[in-house]
Amino acid sequence: MLNRLDLRGLGAAVADRLPRPEIAGDEPRAVVRELVAEVRADGDAALRRLTERFDGVTLESIRVADTELDAAVDELDPELRAAYDAAIEGIEAFHRHQVRPTEVIARPGLTITASQRPVTSAGLYVPGGRAEYPSTVLMTAVPARVAGVARVALCVPPDRRRGSIAPSVLAAARLAGVDEVYAVGGAQAVAAMAYGTGSIPAVDVIAGPGNVYVALAKQEVAGDVGIAAAFAGPSEVVVIADHTARPTYAAIDLIVQAEHGPDGLAWLVTWDEAVADEVCAAGEELLASAPRAEDVRSTLRSGGYVAIVDDRAAALAVVNAIAPEHLEIQTADAEELAASVDNAGAIFCGELSPASVGDYVAGPSHVLPTNGSARFASALTVGDFCKDHHIVTVDRDGLDRLGPHVIALATQEGLAAHAESIRLRLGDEHGEAG
């Protein structure tokens, strides 16, 4: 089921021996640049052409009518509605703790008022096509709403079979407080939200995961629009397992991430070769009856690995080098190991804490950094939809105390006007105030 790597004897010096599939080469980047340019030039006409080309759907209306969202909620199965409500409750509860109150920091003669202000508008991207992802609607829209964003727009590729967006996604959008839903996907949706078209007004920030083309499109438009979180591309998981792990649990959790589709990564890391054998055997047994077995096998052939290492320290070195989106620790000392992890988007401790809990109901957003970007980035947060404002107020005593330091620093940097702006206010012999 997995490509085997024997890393024993290398200790913690394993980073250079780890395969890292290149999912963002020159060709995808060139395609994305062309798509972004086409949308900027032709607006809605480009969106219609590209939706027909990539999704096989002829759009009558790019925006989904509000009545369709309302109808989707009305038709929700009660059990599913209860699951949506539970997920929203957990996501709201977690993200409310990220909202910072206004603070006043006072020093002699100087006061700084620091506040967190939401952006005016946010554009959310939710994948489609291969599956329906109402959970991603909740995991992006709820943090935006908790942040206080006034306008939340959502782009989702239409389903070829339906010719429209799945009702489950529309219902999630309505329940999460999305204002506008558009039946557009791919890099063209990112371009539309970044630059605006006749139907889709431009936004301030774009958030949400997608395939490599979506992730690259966000990189392409970054700077013209805010891009929340990091490279949120194809799904990844690393499972660390020892002899206490249940092989079936570890195997199913590798399959869970591979189920998302191509270009993902699924790693098993262990210092016990018997564990590697048992997990791989359990995986084969599970795949024998899996509904999407061939898709999973295809992903695992290109991005599935079992790394056999010397010890726990070497396992941590592998994890920190990969910097995975999801990390599961199924060992006797899971919490101790978790405390030593530097690079991971989300960590799940113990055999009863699969990443699927985080995908749906735990509370933190499941929009996580991929492709190694967990080295410097984190999950989507309220902060991704906010700006930090600070207001500085200086009184006479403060200017008398700090002004000479400003003059000294500005003079050293050769910025005469900076220094003069202080001298004029101090009224010294170099510039009488008034």
Q: How confident is the model over 367-395, as pLDDT tens digits?
A: 999 888 899 999 999 999 999 999 999 99
Q: Which two tokens stand for residue 283?
A: 């995986």
Catalytic one among 38, 95, 260, 326?
326
**3-20+234-344 with 26-232+382-387: one CATH topology?**
yes
Task: Report pLDDT for 230.
Answer: 65
CATH of domain 3-20+234-344: 3.40.50.1980
Q: Which two tokens stand for residue 251?
A: 């195997």
User: What would the pLDDT profile of 189-209 be if each residue is shown by its tens digit?
Assistant: 999 999 999 999 999 999 999
Establish whether 68 is a catalytic residue.
no
Tallying the residues shown for the chain, one arrives at 434
Segment 254-263 mean pLDDT? 81
Of the two residues 178 and 373, the one the predictor is more confident about is 178
Which residue in 179, 164, 182 sits closest to 125, CA to CA?
182
Ramachandran assignment for 363, one of left (phi > 0), alpha (psi -120 to 50 degrees), beta (any other): left
Q: Residue 431 pLDDT more than 80?
A: no
Segment 137-163 mean pLDDT? 96
Establish whether 366 is a catalytic residue.
no
8 A C-beta contact, residue 330 and residue 309: no
DSSP state of 63: B
Residue type present at position 180: E
Domain boundaries, the chain: 3-20+234-344, 26-232+382-387, 395-426
pLDDT tier, 294 (very low <50, low <70, confident <90, very high otherwise): confident
Q: Residue 340 pLDDT more than 70?
A: yes
Fold observed for domain 26-232+382-387: Rossmann fold (3.40.50)
Task: Report pLDDT for 211.
Answer: 87
Catalytic one among 259, 325, 328, 351?
325
Residue with tokens 């590729």: 157
User: What would the pLDDT profile of 3-52 be if each residue is shown by its tens digit?
Assistant: 999 999 998 888 888 987 666 667 889 999 999 999 999 999 999 999 99
For 275-330, the DSSP string reads HHHHHHHHHHHHHTT-TTHHHHHHHHHHHEEEEE-SSHHHHHHHHHHH--SEEEEE
User: What whole-number percentage of the chain has pLDDT above 90?
Assistant: 81
Segment 310-336 mean pLDDT? 95
Distance (Å, whole) CA 307 – CA 272: 10
Q: Residue 187 pLDDT more than 80?
A: yes
Segment 128-146 mean pLDDT? 92
